Structure 1
Amino acid sequence: MNKNDDKFNAKNVIIISLAHLTHDTYSAFLAPILPILIDQLGITLFMAGMLDVVRRVPQLLNPLLGMIADRIRISVFIILAPLVTTLSMSFLGLSPNVIVLTALVFVSGISAAFFHVPSPVLIKHFSGNKIGQGMSFYMLGGELARTLGPLLILSGVSLWGLQGTWRLAPLGIAASLVLFFQFRKVRVHKPERREESKGYGKTFINLLPLFLTIGGIIFFRGAMKAALTIYLPTYLTGKDQSIWMAGISLSVLQFSGAAGTFAAGPLSDRIGRKKVLLIASIINPFLMLLFVNISGVLVIPVLILSGFFLFMTGPVILATVHDVKSDQGAFINGVYMTVNFFFASVMTVLVGFLADRFGMDRTYSATVLLSALAIPVVLFMKKSYSATR
């Protein structure tokens, strides 16, 4: 790095964040239309939860993708991934059966893996000594996408019906064309630095305490996150809310989550990663307890607060991962994303299984206790971790 690498490059950080916004807008199409797909294709809540797992399965390859991204020009992934995700998610409404639906979701998961492994490495590169702030911009793009995604797909359903939502694809295609001109020359890792790399296995073993700690936080936080994201529209429609009201509620949650995401990174730069994670982990169970015990107009303000504190952990965890000094940044990020996939997916399926077995109301009440178990995990978290010993 040269002396300018410590400076925060706002232009490039914003460009990458907009790429994240584009990609994840289309990735957010699944949850809002799940109630329609459940009715149209006759799938169970457990199967609906499995769709989200299928979307995440390609993340098992994230460490391998990270090794590749550490050695080649990673901008190719960022350019092509939004295109593939756009096409696969825009065609969900044309699925004649569960097999085709699952295949489309799986393809979108592959493209998502190719996008999310290298992009935070670019953010770190352009953030200088303000990694938390850079990750907040990046995660803001993702959370705004999860706000725009439900509104975009439901608008498409209203205009053309579920089978006509393929007409939304041109927006994402155009975005990839723009990204090509913006990112085609971006390069982070330089060939002359490769000899500095230690063994990937050694790096993994040295950082295992970090990955296990993050895994614990993600697992217990995942109970509340699954309940308030992937299952929220189904839960609310089961409470006699319209599909539009359910979609708007999800967008409200995601929009407030975007605010929490944007605030958390810079705050963690100032007061520390652990303190921000602890604050969120303490407040989240109380907000979930409120949500399951209220109804009517009070749901919206509780969702606003829940979204803020639930999603503020994202950029802080990501910044913690990229605080590690290493020239294997993409590999480390790939391992983190695999850990994220495993623990979040297990909890997502568990919530779906419990909902099928005991009902949504009891399951949502159980997530209060599960989310509270993140507190002791954060308390045992170390201040910093090293890739070398």
Structure 2
Amino acid sequence: MSTTAVSARPSSQPQQETAYRILFIIGLCHLLNDSIQSVIPAMFPILEKSMGLTFSQLGMIAFSLNIVSSIMQPVIGMATDKKPVPFALPIGLTFTLFGVLGLAFAPKYEWVVVSVLFIGLGSAVFHPEGSRVAYMAAGPRRGLAQSIYQVGGNTGQALAPVITALILVPLGQVGAAWFTVVAAIAVGLLIYIAFWYTGRLQLELSTLSKKNQSAANSNKKISKAVWGALVLILFLIFARSWYISGMTNFYAFYAIEKYSFSIGQSQLFLFAFLVSGALGTFFGGPLADRFGKKTVIFLSMILTVPLSILIPFVPSAVAFILLILGGFVLMSSFSVTVVYAQELIPGKIGTMAGLTVGLAFGMGAIGSIVLGYIADTFGLTSMIIFTGFLPVLGILTLLLPSDKIVSEWNS
């Protein structure tokens, strides 16, 4: 019988203590993985100058990175729900290592695109399996566990401005080669995680009756109400991802144009936005454990609206404060949407992680193309103003079933 259901269905597993050591290691690996990914948007100002790229071409590079991850994450999640593959984690990061090496020495635009495809593939393997490890190590604290895992990734993304200022500005494109060392460290840590993952699967397989119960539950037919809630949560991720994509990929250019900033100054603003987002990610999970996932998702979107709308119309000092507040509030729902989807369709932990996190990459990818086109056609200011209204779509959170109803569906 498949090992899938054993690893995927939480209620079928023996009650375990929260494995904080594993959570912190997988969170660190997430930081290393996403810091590597952050090299790509961090290099945009450098690539724009050295290769003479347009905003649309930069958007295509971001699209190439994210769309591979978006397509492959749910596929890998579904495959590993059927048969978990613990050592897929270090193998995936090895693909990333080769992608970073190619990026550092790419002679032209086309080679940059090929290199980021490798990085995207490595990310596609890492994210659903990393989320599964966090779920398996969570014990009774699922929100906190997912927050520890996700905050690692968001912290890695927040390092992009620092990477630009300290490594890429002085060293240029070839500076990306330093991140092969980062990838190698992540591979080593993930080998350790893979052995723990294997041991946990063997422990769970030792209880045959629970395995059979889990298999039955994981094959239960999904109702129309559950499908509707899943589509809605994915749409909310779409709105959040487009906003994050616009800010991450293009706000540095906007700050340079509007405030006459240097590259380093613009990266400081972006760094503040991303670091506050990482903090919001961490606190969102525990808040959801206490006040409910739907409540946190709703407030994170709606409270962001006045902040995001004001950002293009205020002086730089005020914009800096609004970026910090907006990043914290909006990203507080990042890990919560993952857990909400995993509890919505239990037994499909990898699939739901692949859809929610993968969709975030995919929607960010499409957003990069569309927003790049808007910036080229209508100007950066118009594009930033447009993105500021996207969190308004968070009002649709009111249509989501409550945490209590989701629990009743799965009882």
TM-score, scaled to structure 1: 0.90
Identify which of 229, 235, 244 aligns with 2:254.
Answer: 235
Tell me which residue corresponds to 1:275: 295
Q: Is the 8 A contact 1:264 1:313 kept in 2?
A: yes
* Deviation (angstroms), 1:292: 0.6
User: One-letter code of the match for 1:45?
Assistant: F
* Deviation (angstroms), 1:343: 3.5
Tell me which residue corresponds to 2:64: 54
- 1:273, 1:233 → 2: CA distance? 32
* Deviation (angstroms), 1:357: 1.3
Flag the 1:70–1:163 CA change in 2: closer, same or farther, 3 A: same
Tell me which residue corresponds to 1:224: 243
Flag the 1:105–1:220 CA change in 2: closer, same or farther, 3 A: same
User: One-letter code of the match for 2:63?
Assistant: V
**Residue 226 of structure 2 is aligned to residue 215 of structure 1:** no
Identify which of 127, 132, 155 aligns with 1:144.
Answer: 155
Identify which of 6, 28, 32 aligns with 2:38.
Answer: 28
Flag the 1:351–1:204 CA change in 2: closer, same or farther, 3 A: farther
User: One-letter code of the match for 1:313?
Assistant: S
**Residue 260 of structure 2 is aligned to residue 250 of structure 1:** no
Identify which of 334, 343, 350 aligns with 1:314.
Answer: 334
Deviations 1:1-59 (A, max 9, x none): 55442x32211111111111111111111112201212222222122122222112222
- 2:367, 2:309 → 1: CA distance? 18
Q: Is the 8 A contact 1:197 1:328 kept in 2?
A: no
Tell me which residue corresponds to 2:180: 169
User: One-letter code of the match for 1:155?
Assistant: L
Tell me which residue corresponds to 2:372: 352
- 2:195, 2:84 → 1: CA distance? 9
Flag the 1:177–1:330 CA change in 2: closer, same or farther, 3 A: same
**Residue 90 of structure 2 is aligned to residue 79 of structure 1:** yes
Tell me which residue corresponds to 2:6: none
* Deviation (angstroms), 1:349: 2.3
SS of 1:161's partner is helix
Flag the 1:143–1:383 CA change in 2: closer, same or farther, 3 A: same
- 1:159, 1:45 → 2: CA distance? 23
- 2:315, 2:101 → 1: CA distance? 33
Tell me which residue corresponds to 2:7: none
Q: Is the 8 A contact 2:73 2:127 kept in 1?
A: no
Flag the 1:289–1:351 CA change in 2: closer, same or farther, 3 A: same
Deviations 1:190-225 (A, max 9, x none): 566378157879559774223311222122223321
- 2:183, 2:72 → 1: CA distance? 25
Tell me which residue corresponds to 1:63: 74
* Deviation (angstroms), 1:258: 1.2
**Residue 143 of structure 2 is aligned to residue 123 of structure 1:** no
- 2:380, 2:86 → 1: CA distance? 42
Tell me which residue corresponds to 1:331: 351
Flag the 1:352–1:184 CA change in 2: closer, same or farther, 3 A: same
Identify which of 147, 153, 157 aligns with 2:168.
Answer: 157
| Structure 1 range deviating more: 17-26 or 286-295 | 286-295
Tell me which residue corresponds to 2:215: 196
- 1:208, 1:19 → 2: CA distance? 32
* Deviation (angstroms), 1:124: 1.2
Tell me which residue corresponds to 1:294: 314
- 1:202, 1:342 → 2: CA distance? 27
User: One-letter code of the match for 2:171?
Assistant: W
User: One-letter code of the match for 2:343?
Assistant: D
* Deviation (angstroms), 1:270: 0.7
Flag the 1:161–1:45 CA change in 2: closer, same or farther, 3 A: closer
TM-score, scaled to structure 2: 0.86
The answer for unaligned runs of 5 or more in structure 1 is none
- 1:208, 1:123 → 2: CA distance? 25
SS of 2:269's partner is helix
| Structure 1 range deviating more: 61-70 or 261-270 | 61-70
Deviations 1:261-302 (A, max 9, x none): 111110011111111111111121211122111233333222
- 1:268, 1:199 → 2: CA distance? 25
User: One-letter code of the match for 2:40?
Assistant: L
User: One-letter code of the match for 2:38?
Assistant: A
* Deviation (angstroms), 1:365: 1.2
Tell me which residue corresponds to 2:197: 186
- 2:287, 2:172 → 1: CA distance? 43
User: One-letter code of the match for 1:246?
Assistant: S
Structure 1: 4+ residue segments shifted above 6 A = 198-201, 386-389
Flag the 1:198–1:343 CA change in 2: closer, same or farther, 3 A: farther
Please report the RMSD computed on the Cα atoms of aligned residues, expressed in angstroms: 2.6
* Deviation (angstroms), 1:238: 2.5
| Structure 1 range deviating more: 150-159 or 57-66 | 150-159
| Structure 1 range deviating more: 350-359 or 112-121 | 350-359
* Deviation (angstroms), 1:338: 4.5
Over the matched positions of the two proteins, sequence identity in percent amounts to: 22
SS of 2:389's partner is helix
Q: Is the 8 A contact 1:222 1:371 kept in 2?
A: no
User: One-letter code of the match for 2:61?
Assistant: L
| Structure 1 range deviating more: 378-387 or 197-206 | 197-206
Matched residues, number: 387
Q: Is the 8 A contact 1:56 1:345 kept in 2?
A: yes
* Deviation (angstroms), 1:373: 2.0
Q: Is the 8 A contact 1:124 1:322 kept in 2?
A: no
